[in-house]
């Protein structure tokens, strides 16, 4: 009993410490400039300043940043799901010469440090004339090895009988993939989609390198520039952070039932 109470107490303490920066962020976002800029231990604002959020949108073009980000992250998520389902199915269910070698090479791309490919990719994209375009932000992330690996695992987990039965009924591979296997691996589709979206939404270095114009910026770059600006107001800065954090946290709460524990641990054991 004693031990149980202690465990709850310690874990709660940890949870409070973990989430405290967010609580503080939200509270500061609602303070006036003078409240936010004076060193104080008071957590809550005197008056909750809702118009700070309007002022934040006035202070920097966050509307533009957000529409860029959602466009890029949306297309990247969709493409990553499609390409990984196609490739994952091929690796899991089709027999062709060189399958093991090609799959090994796909996995090997996971080991390459991002910084090594950063400079050549920058040169490549510049040669393509893609600087300050959506193509530069989207195309390199339309497929990734981790998603393909996860999808392959999911398709391997389906009983082969399903396919045999469908084949007898005259269903080919592609139709099987689209109408039967696809819906069956939905939890993995959610997982792959969530990781692709988070990865794209939260990426900083690549958009920073390939975009220069303000109209092409994504939110992460926008926030970095905003927070680095001279004489920035801390309350507005916390407003901006809150706005940037909100979409991914919302998405996580919506999707967590599907993706946690089960699918995340699936490919790792042993």
Question: What's 110's DSSP letter?
Answer: T
Residue with tokens 């799901």: 81
The residue within the footprint of another protein, chosen from 1, 2, 5, 38 (CB under 8 A), is 38
Span from 44-52, 155-163, 185-193, 214-222 in contact with another protein (CB under 8 A):
214-222
Q: Under the criterion CB under 8 A, does residue 49 sit at the interface with another protein?
A: no
Give the separation between CA 190 and CA 228, rounded to whole angstroms: 35
Q: Under the criterion CB under 8 A, does residue 245 sit at the interface with another protein?
A: yes
Q: Under the criterion CB under 8 A, does residue 48 sit at the interface with another protein?
A: no
Give the separation between CA 85 and CA 176, rounded to whole angstroms: 12
Span from 47-55, 155-163, 180-188, 246-254 in contact with another protein (CB under 8 A):
246-254
The Cα-based distances of 75 to 78, 145, 223, 248 in angstroms read 5, 17, 22, 16
Q: Under the criterion CB under 8 A, does residue 159 sit at the interface with another protein?
A: no
Give the separation between CA 132 and CA 216, rounded to whole angstroms: 6
Span from 51-59, 158-166, 180-188, 259-267 in contact with another protein (CB under 8 A):
259-267
Give the separation between CA 76 and CA 200, rounded to whole angstroms: 7
Of 184-213, which residues contact another protein (CB under 8 A)?
198, 201-202, 204-205, 208-209
Of 6-25, which residues contact another protein (CB under 8 A)?
7-8, 10-11, 14-15, 18-19, 21-22, 24-25
Nearest-approach distance from CB 83 to another protein, in angstroms: 4
Residue with tokens 């940037």: 244
Of 93-122, which residues contact another protein (CB under 8 A)?
94-97, 99, 102, 105-106, 109, 111-122
Question: What's 240's DSSP letter?
Answer: H
The residue within the footprint of another protein, chosen from 154, 188, 223, 236 (CB under 8 A), is 223
- Is 140:206 a contact under the CB 8 Å cutoff? yes
The rounded Cα 227 to chain-centroid distance in angstroms is 22
Nearest-approach distance from CB 51 to another protein, in angstroms: 20
The residue within the footprint of another protein, chosen from 1, 2, 5, 39 (CB under 8 A), is 39
With b for 16 or more beta-carbon neighbours within 10 A and e for fewer, the 109-132 pattern comes to: eeeeeeeeeeeebeeebeeeebbe
DSSP sequence for 118-168: HHHHHHHHHHTT-TTSHHHHHGGGS--HHHHHHHHHHHHTS-HHHHHHHHH
Span from 44-52, 66-74, 154-162, 181-189 in contact with another protein (CB under 8 A):
66-74
Of 137-156, which residues contact another protein (CB under 8 A)?
139-140, 142-145, 148
Alpha carbons within 13 angstroms on the beta-carbon side of residue 265 total: 5
Nearest-approach distance from CB 47 to another protein, in angstroms: 19
Nearest-approach distance from CB 161 to another protein, in angstroms: 19
């Amino acid at each position: 009993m004693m031990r149980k109470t202690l465990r709850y107490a310690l874990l709660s303490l940890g949870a409070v410490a973990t989430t405290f920066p967010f609580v503080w962020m939200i509270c500061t976002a609602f303070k006036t400039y003078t409240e936010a800029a004076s060193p104080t231990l008071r957590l809550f604002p005197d008056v909750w300043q809702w118009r700070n959020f309007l002022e934040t949108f006035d202070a920097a073009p966050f509307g533009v940043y957000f529409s860029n980000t959602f466009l890029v992250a949306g297309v990247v998520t969709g493409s990553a799901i499609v390409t990984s389902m196609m490739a994952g199915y091929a690796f899991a269910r089709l027999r062709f010469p060189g399958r093991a070698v090609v799959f090994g090479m796909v996995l090997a791309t996971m080991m390459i440090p991002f910084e090594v490919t950063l400079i050549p990719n920058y040169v490549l994209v510049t040669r393509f004339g893609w600087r300050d375009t959506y193509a530069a932000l989207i195309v390199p992330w339309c497929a990734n090895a981790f998603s393909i690996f996860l999808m392959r695992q999911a398709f391997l987990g389906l009983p082969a009988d399903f396919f045999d039965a469908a084949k007898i009924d005259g269903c080919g591979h592609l139709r099987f993939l689209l109408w039967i296997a696809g819906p069956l691996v939905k939890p993995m589709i959610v997982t792959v989609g969530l990781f692709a979206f988070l990865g794209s939404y939260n990426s900083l270095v690549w958009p920073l390198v390939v975009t220069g114009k303000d109209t092409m910026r994504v939110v992460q770059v926008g926030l970095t520039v905003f927070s680095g600006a001279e004489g920035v107001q801390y309350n507005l800065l916390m407003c901006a952070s809150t706005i940037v954090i909100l979409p991914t946290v919302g998405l996580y709460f919506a999707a967590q039932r599907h993706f946690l524990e089960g699918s995340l641990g699936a490919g790792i054991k042993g």
